[in-house]
Amino acid sequence: RREQARLRASVVQEDTEEWQKDPQFSGLQRVGGVDLSYSKGDESRACASLVVLSYPDLEVLYQDCRMVPVTAPYVAGFLAFREVPVLVEAVQRLQQEEPQLQPQVLLVDGNGLLHPRGFGTACHLGVLTDLPCIGVAKNLLHVDGLVRDELHREQVRSLQRSGEAFPLTGTSGKVLGMVLRSHNNSSRPLYVSVGHRVSLGTAVRLVRACCRFRVPEPIRQADIRSREYLRK
């Protein structure tokens, strides 16, 4: 908790890059995605995957998949301590080996500020790499009074078209993220939250722009490639 609080003080919740301020994201050329896939029945090893896609074409420019030891146990609310170190290593390898392909933003399969202590995996990875980061979760984390009750489901059903969204406001009055309908073909939403060096509005727009399917392409490609690597 102390470590999360210490690092959380460094989180920047607004846009810091010129491309973020442009409605078309002019100047954005590379979007990264990260994922960890675990071996079935073996929680001590996982495949860590980092991909970098071109923007706006969303073609894979770089991929790094490798088996890594996972030493920290899983504890709810502290997942980042288990997963972020190997993801930081993957980013550092890319910076050393192919610096021209460094992503200008990272999409993380998980939460950012939408977290019991306001410091989820996307914040943790963002602060340690100092890259803009966005949390993209497939399920609602029950924090600050947020629940998947009938009212929430009703609001989700009201999202009729791709790009429609509504804010997640906790009982504290804080907006912790946005619920986004990312694709016309899927009524199941995404839960988008700020990780680091990006505003919530920009985060939602970029996630939407990266979706060919429900899950944004950088995360989808990282997931596909890590599972394929495990299978082989």
What mean pLDDT comes out for the span 108-116?
96
pLDDT digits (tens, 9 = 90+) for 145-183: 999 999 999 999 999 999 999 999 999 999 999 999 999
H-state helical runs in the chain: 2-8, 79-97, 121-129, 150-157, 200-209, 217-231
**CA nearest neighbour of 145 among 121, 169, 167, 166:** 169
167: Cα within 13 Å, side-chain hemisphere: 10
Whole-structure pTM value: 0.96
Q: Is 207 in contact with 180 (CB distance < 8 Å)? A: yes
pLDDT digits (tens, 9 = 90+) for 198-230: 999 999 999 999 999 999 999 999 999 999 999
What mean pLDDT comes out for the span 111-140?
97
Lookup result for tokens 């009729």: 160
Structural domains of the chain in order of their starting residue, each with its CATH number: 1-231 (3.30.2170.10)
The confidence score (pLDDT) of residue 43 equals 84
State the Cα–Cα distance between residues 6 and 110, nearest whole angstrom. Answer: 20
Residue 88 confidence class, pLDDT cut points 50, 70, 90: very high
Strand 190-196 to 175-180 pairing? antiparallel
What mean pLDDT comes out for the span 69-89?
91
What mean pLDDT comes out for the span 49-70?
97
The confidence score (pLDDT) of residue 40 equals 85
Q: Is 207 in contact with 217 (CB distance < 8 Å)? A: no
What mean pLDDT comes out for the span 19-33?
97
